[in-house]
Amino acid sequence: MDTFERIQKILGDNADYYLSHRSKKIGLDKLTKPGPSVIDNFRNSDRSTPVLKSLSQLYNNGRLKGSGYLSILPIDQGIEHSAAFSFYKNQDYFNPENIIKLALEGGCNAVASTKGVLALHSRKYADKIPFIVKINHNELLTYPNTYDQIKYSSVIEAWNMGATAIGATIYFGSEQSNRQIQEIAMAFEKAHELGMATILWCYTRNNQFKRDNTDYHTAADLTGQANHIGATIKADIIKQKLPTLNYSFRELNAGKYNDEMYDALGTEHPIDLCRWQVANCYMGQIGLINSGGASKGESDLKDAATAAIINKRAGGSGLIMGRKAFQKPLKDGIEVLNLVQDIYLEPKITIA
C-alpha cells in the first residue's frame, strides 16, 4: 500500500470530501504557494540576511526540509495547561530533554517550548534542531483564571541560548489584547534586529465570542482578522487553530461585514474556511501553520491526517502538533508526526 492509499484508508468515508474538493471562491492563482523557494517571499522585504538565514534553517530541517512546509513540535503545555495534566499520560515529558528528542526522532523542522525547557539543554541541542523559544504564556494559578499572556522571557535570553526563532501568543479580543499587541510587536522588532525569525500564536479569547451555545472562537472571519493583525506586526509565520465555522461578525454584530463579503470569500467546506485564513496571511506570503489540537486517543491518526490535508489543500504551510504526539508512547507519537509529514510530501495531495 503506497502513502496515498494509506491516507485514503485512514480518512475512510471522508476521503473524497477532503481530497477531491476544489476551492472556487479564493482562487489558487491568487495564492503564493509553499515550495522550495519559500524564502523568496521575503527577498524584497526589510528582513535582514540573518533573519532570512533563520527562516531557511526552519524550512530546511527534518523530513520536510526543502519542501516549503513545516512540521513543528510545540510543547509548552506544562505552563499553558499545567504540567501534571499535560504529562500524566506519558511521564517521560516532565523531563525536558525528552521533548527535544521527540522532535528530533520525529523528523520535525523545529521544536517550540518554554525558556526553561530549551535552556536546560541548549548547549547540547541548539545546533542539532532549530529552537523556537516561546517568550510569553498564560498561567493557571490565578483564581479565577485571567487568561492573560505575560512575558516569561526576554528576546535576548532566547538569542543567547541559540534560538532560531521566538514565538509568542496574543489573545485577540481579550481585555489585555492592546497591551499584548504592543508588547509583541516590540519583541518581534527586537528579534528581527538580532536575526531571529518570529512566529505568532494568533488566538482569539473573549467570553462574548460565545453566543446561544455557539462558540465563534474558531470562526474563519474572526481568526482570519487575527491572522491579518499578526502579519501586520511582522510575524514571519502565523499559528492558528483550524476554523470550524464562519459568520462570527454577523452573529455577534461585531467587526465590519456584509453578506457579499461572505459570499465572495468562502463556503462552509473546511478547506475553504482555512483558505480564508490563508488569504489573511497576505495570500500565503506569510506561512500559515494550523494547530493539531487535543489528543483524543484512537482517533488521533485520522484527526491529524484530516488537519494536515485541510491546511495543505487550503494553501497553508504546515502543522504545529504537540498533544497528539507526546501524550502517548514515543513510537506512537513518532507515527503521528510522520503521517502528517507524509501528507505534505505526497504529490497526489495538491492545493485545492
- To 10 degrees, what angle do helices 270-279 and 220-232 make? 20
Q: Prior bond to 270 cis, omega within 30?
A: no
Q: State the number of CA atoms in the 13 A half-sphere of 136 facing the CB.
A: 21
Nearby residues of 93 by Cβ (< 8 Å), 6 or more positions away: 75, 86, 87, 99, 102, 326
Count of positions (residues) in the chain: 352
Query: 245 to each of 216, 222, 263, 267, 327, how far by Cα in Å?
Result: 7, 10, 14, 10, 28
Phi, psi for 204 (deg, rounded to 5)? -100, 145
Catalytic, 312? Answer no
For residues 295 and 45, the answer to whether their CB atoms sit within 8 Å is no
The CA–CA distances, whole Å, from 183 to 64, 145, 236 equal: 32, 21, 17
| DSSP 3-state of 306 | helix
Give the residue among 21, 2, 1, 12 at the shortest CA–CA distance from 305. Answer: 12
Answer yes or no: are the C-beta atoms of 221 and 276 closer than 8 Å. yes
Amino acid identity at 129: I
CA atoms within 13 A on the CB side of 132: 31
Catalytic residue among 101, 115, 134, 239: 239
Whether the CB-CB separation of 234 and 202 falls below 8 Å is answered with no
Q: How far apart are CA 77 and CA 47, in angstroms?
A: 31
Is 213 within 8 Å of 177 (Cβ atoms)? Answer: no
- Where in the sequence numbering do the catalytic residues fall? 239
